[in-house]
Amino acid sequence: MPYRAPISELRFVLRHVVGFDAVAATGAFAPCGPETTDAILTEAGRLCAEVLAPLRRAGDEHPARLENGAVRTPPGFARGYRAIAEGGWIGIAADPAHGGMGLPQTLATAVNEMMASACLALHTNPLMTQGQIEALEHRADAALKAVYLPRLISGEWCATMNLTEPQAGSDVGALRCRAEPLGDGSFAISGQKIYITWADNDFTANVCHLVLARLPDGGPGTRGISLFMVPKIIPDAEGRLGAPNALRVLSLEGKTGLHGSPTAVMVYEGARGWLVGEPHRGMAAMFTMMNNARLGVGVQGVGAAEAALQLALGHARTRRQGTTPVGDGSGPIADHADVRRMLGLMAAETAAARAVALGCAVAIDMARATGDAGWQARAAFLTPIAKVCGTEAGIAVADLGIQIHGGMGYVEQTGAAQLWRDIRVSAIYEGTNGIQAMDLVGRKLADGGAAARALIAEIAGAAEAARQTLPGMAPALAEAAGAQARATRAMLDLGPTDRAAGALA
């Protein structure tokens, strides 16, 4: 069954579930009416179905590799990346002042879902670049913006983020990477970073690394960390490329999945870098990129779920095994009640996770368009939820897809196992799901639960309004809203350790 871009499903959620029309009505995103939205979804869907989806298996069967210090990407990935870049999809939500489309994050999120469901390994590249674009837009000085943003938005250059070190994983404050002033406004960056997604490739002219490092006067922990732009090839003030920088890919990780996406150990040996944001405020600057990536990773989970659902549905509609309880008993396994149960669960999990992700994106857009504190709180509250909900759904749905395929799900020819292998890491990278949960019950409840209560009240109101139109579903929704309200009150009464113990329940 060939991949089908879920345009109708996305259109339904935008129009009838998350209230995207309110974003278009703000004036900040006025061109984004139904016709524009449909055109964007249709064009992006065509790219994903016709160009990106055929690359999924190629990336798994022909992994990225390191040859003589350079990364070689899977067959077709360069062509796929060029199609993404030439379509303007990398800069869909970026500032038009630097060449972006200036469209809502909600539409960028919908497009990212389709790209992730078509070819997750390749999608990780533009996702990283989109995060860096946002970080530079908010934190970089004018000179850095002028050099880097137009080329990142166009896709001429691509981007990474470098946080993790062998001794500093989730505990970023333990990093040892150093930054020494060179006296000309630049810094010499030295150290090793690991787990660097798309650290190099053979299809962009430059790779722009955002690197966390410590200045000589930087104190211990995260408060003493600064953020630096460290390009693979050093550009001049006009963006013309010059000498290679003193950095290299030491090795590529052999991973369970995402074989087409190179994950590298990077070495910086006095590489020249430029400060992004204020000294010793690197984590605040990097979190701009990380929050963007966390929503993006949640959407990757939704994309994997959609791909797994389509693959399982196609198999269930054609595979015949045993006597079925429908018609003359010779139908496909989709006629078996247990298979229908699994397919129904897959569809429900995918739809729910999609709605959460797009709801988070709508809150981000409304916050930007209106400056309203309530929308800002809603966006912050939903970000860890979108990351966890999307990734957990992706893993669970891909696992069910393997089950529906039976023994063929456990061999590689069907592609069902690849979907699970590719998405499994999403619960780990960009902040583990456990850390997201602790963030939710910690920092996100630091307002006394105001953002949580506002969302729960909205859900309860929707349940009450649905009692006449959906009498079979409204009571269950009302009960769930009540349970969530009680759980929130209970969390607010607990200390930090007890909150963390129940954060992911």
Q: Which residues are catalytic?
A: 430
Tokens of 464: 């009450």
Residue 447 CA: distances (Å) to CA of 58, 318, 452, 456, 485: 48, 52, 9, 15, 15
User: Rounded distance, CA 371 to CA 494, Å?
Assistant: 32
User: Rounded distance, CA 416 to CA 390, Å?
Assistant: 18
User: Rounded distance, CA 108 to CA 84, Å?
Assistant: 13
User: Rounded distance, CA 237 to CA 345, Å?
Assistant: 54
* CA atoms 340, 341, 344, 345: torsion sign: negative
Q: Which residues pair with 231 in a beta bridge?
A: 208
Q: Which residues pair with 181 in a beta bridge?
A: 187
- State the residue for tokens 């040996």: 269
Closest CA to 47 of 1, 98, 95, 90: 90
User: Rounded distance, CA 266 to CA 282, Å?
Assistant: 19
Tokens of 355: 């709605």
DSSP letter for 323, please.
Answer: -
Closest CA to 212 of 233, 195, 190: 190
Helices 77-86, 120-139: crossing angle, 10 deg rounding: 40
Q: Which residues pair with 65 in a beta bridge?
A: 72
Q: Cα 61 to the chain's mean position, in Å?
A: 24
